[in-house]
A and B are shown apart, each in its own frame.
Chain A
Amino acid sequence: MHMADVLLSPVTGGVMTAVSAGALGYSVRKLSKGEAGFDESKIPMMGVMGAFVFAGQMINFTIPATGSSGHIGGGLLLAAVLGPFPALITLAAVLLIQCLFFADGGLLAYGCNVFNMGVCSVLAYKFIYEPIVRKEMNNKNITIASMAAVVLGLQLGAFSVVLETLASGITELPFGSFALLMQPIHLAIGLVEGVVTAGVLCYINVARPEVLYSKTLYSDNKLARVSFKNLIIVFGVLTVIVGSVLSLFASGYPDGLEWSVEGVAGTAELASKSGLIGIVQNIVSKTAFMPDYGFADGSNPVLGTSVAGIIGSLITVIIAGGIAFLVSRRKHAESI
């Protein structure tokens, strides 16, 4: 999944380099603070494990009944042994070596590759693998967690490749066709890679469980503590990205309900001006300050969609947060 320079415009490459530099800077800050038990003894460990990922990627395994072969990705393996922050730094170093000395990826595309293969893998580890193995660290949970994390991490990475290439304007392939080409291929790759990653982690869990990062955390009961603040920040950033950027790629076709109504009535929107429906429509048309996800005067539709996405997300957060706050207060009062 290494992207080459030719797939990117300088602007997209620059933006993604800044994003990845931010993620790497955050990881470096975490490690320099000595979080997750990081000390100087881990430095050679990171270097050698980076070399391990490189060597591991050279081992081709035969995929039964297909006549083809595959290799491990290594992002999740590194995170499972080193922890997420050291894993991201190590993967970034491996990717720079691959880019410079093996022409796998490019210098302009370096930021994209760190994001697609490093940040996505680490996010999959943090939000999929870790919560599953936290319950109980047995081979069944490790297998489920590895499969899910590798598949979803790869899907996220492949989708990022699609968005980055389209944002660069290099390909004329429509978004839908490009995504349909990329996602299923990486689903198949992810399934096989997930099986191998699960096999490796289960073997280590049986042979040398102390090697696994989650095992050391689990035994100290540190893993049970999830930072609520960090969770809010991550989901806040994701919400803004989805609301402002991904909403621009939303399909212009009617949704399932509108499509069904159109099939029955011949139009997607029913124009009833009488009775209760008329009253409600009247109220909605007066209160809707961004009709059809855009500015009321219809100016700048692209900016309108992004602003509508962000404002809609914020209103949802405020309403959902308000309800959660009221419910928790009531439960607290009942318990007293």
Chain B
Amino acid sequence: MPNLYRAAADIDSLERLASNYSSAIHRLHPMLKLIATLFYIVIAASFKPAQISGLILFIAFPAICFIVAKIPSGIIIRRLLPALPFAFFLAAGNLIIIKPLEVGLFSCVSIFIKTMLTVSAVTVLVATTSFDKISAQLYRLRVPKIFCLQFVMCYRYISVLLSETESMYTAYTLRLCVKGVKLKDMGVFVGQLLLRSFDRAGRVYQAMKCRGFDGVYRTAARDKLSLKNILCLSGLICIMTVIRILSG
């Protein structure tokens, strides 16, 4: 099941990239990176189809980050794949409908560049910031604790349940010599996975309770945003705003 292996490999490679390297981008405060990424995506999405020159300037931000943080280019290509079908569908639609052809072409190119930019921005964020640091920023932004807790627990158990699914899938294919689960077996297969997950959740709760869990997820001390980080964030926002205004 390629999906299963790819998902596990993606989690692993992003964790390694975020934890094992230490570049200038890695060392930036996670809150700075989170806000800058959100701002970058909003500004990139606000460009009109005819303003391709401004969009091209925006490529500089992720490109510099990719080089400085030494992020492999294969990752961005792999991450672009889920976003491409919808983008292709809309771009092709605009190319056919919009007249004259040059305007349609501009719209089509703009959709593809925006797809690349928005996916790259999130890739830079997760490839240079570890999961714990991202979840800590959610707490800091006053996101409800129960949501933050779900975010953390879900992520931690994804790899566990992926390996559980992998074992079940291997057992299934070895017995039936087929590729993929048959539709008629899907109810029992997924139902069995659900029951195993349910039982595991019960054991997890018992283990957490034994370690003093009282419904609150506690994290390590927060590192404060330094003046240098605040100035850096303000500078980035100013540059992006100026480019956007000058693009019309």
Contacts and interface: CB of A to CB of B under 8 A. Distances in A.
Say whether A associates with B: yes
Interface of A: 2-10, 13, 24-25, 28, 31-32, 40-41, 43-52, 54-56, 58-64, 69, 71-72, 77, 81, 89-90, 92-94, 96-97, 99-104, 106-108, 165, 170-173, 192, 195-196, 198-204, 207-208, 211
Contacts of B188: 199, 203
B94 interface: yes
B interface SS class: helix
23 contacts: A4-B86, A7-B87, A7-B90, A24-B147, A45-B201, A47-B157, A48-B198, A51-B158, A52-B194, A55-B165, A59-B4, A92-B147, A99-B122, A100-B125, A101-B10, A101-B14, A102-B10, A102-B82, A103-B80, A171-B90, A173-B93, A200-B190, A204-B194
Nearest to A171: B90
Contacts of B202: 45
A198 B188 CA distance: 11
A93 B157 contact: no
A103 B194 contact: no
A25 B122 CA distance: 25
A35 to B, nearest CB: 13
B139 interface: no
B150 A46 contact: yes
A8 B42 CA distance: 10
B7 A51 contact: no
A72 B122 contact: no
Interface stretch (B23-31, B62-70, B111-119, B219-227): B111-119
B116 to A, nearest CB: 9
Interface residues of B, number: 82
B16 interface: no
- Smallest CB-CB A-B distances: 3 pairs: A199-B187, A47-B153, A203-B191
A55 B86 CA distance: 23
Given A51-B160, A104-B82, A6 B194 contact: no
A313 to B, nearest CB: 33
Nearest to B214: A40
Interface string B31-52: 0000001100110111000000
Nearest to A100: B126
Given A58-B165, A99-B122, A211-B195, A165 B90 contact: yes
B240 interface: no
A196 B184 CA distance: 8
A126 to B, nearest CB: 20
A93 B41 contact: no
Given A45-B201, A46-B150, A6 B42 contact: no
Contact of B191 (A62, A94, A103, A204): A204
Contacts of A165: 90
B149 A4 contact: no
A55 B82 contact: no
Contacts of B4: 55, 58-59
A45 B209 CA distance: 13
Contact of A40 (B41, B82, B144, B215): B215
Interface in B86-113: 86-87, 90, 93-94, 97-98, 107, 111
Nearest to B103: A172
A6 B146 contact: no
B146 A108 contact: no
A6 B165 contact: no
Nearest to B90: A171
Nearest to A169: B48
B21 interface: no
